[in-house]
Structure 1
């Protein structure tokens, strides 16, 4: 009976096999150990959306409002925008009271108000000489900034006003 032939391995065969096994494991495991998360906490490497705040002047002027009338400006925050608000200030002059009423309202309520019906508003200054406007508003709707002097039968008013719209998109 003959003995099986013995294989002879070179002195480098075992270290080469171990090295190949280590390289294989590193190539298979390493990609899973690398942190591919972006700053948003996701792991999809998609571009990170950073909301941007925008501010636009609605009116920065002297507004003339005749007796027993009103003047208005239309505006809107873009549809889908968030954190929309109107801010500013006004100072009225003219007549015995140096006063004006300022409103912010949507289209439907403007129609009701204009026709003497009950209306809801986002801002109502009351009848004042000086006022600060701060009103949160919805996006995607036509809104009206109204300077109302309908209560004054004889006196026109000059209203120094600076009002802006701010929103995030």
Structure 2
């Protein structure tokens, strides 16, 4: 019984240390959004992150094979439609290893109305290392990351947070 308690305690300590270390290297609130130049999956055009200057952004790392990522797409489409005229944009960064073709197919199939770019290792590292998807970052008009959302995020939370940035 004592050995079991000690191993549980050791496991808990290891988990806390691991989580703490991963949070320590991730982009945190009030950090500048990392700059990037990535290719659009649909037309191959290079997109510079500076082209979004002055906008509220939801930068989301995803993959075509990730069920929670796919589940977020209708919410992102709705947010883009609702808030684009107010200075907001979703920017999706695909971590798919198979190249842009599969991602472009998804863009067409789901009728995605926001920029979808191919992420690279450097960009993932600049965002603090992307170790799980989906993961999204809310960026204010000044270009600072104000929130990090690991995992699926309900629409109501995103709407509330985006509205607070736009008002």
Structure with the bigger percentage of strand: 1
TM-score by length of 2: 0.26
Which of the pair has the greater relative contact order for Cα pairs under 8 Å at 6+ separation? 1
The structure having more radius of gyration, on CA atoms, is 1
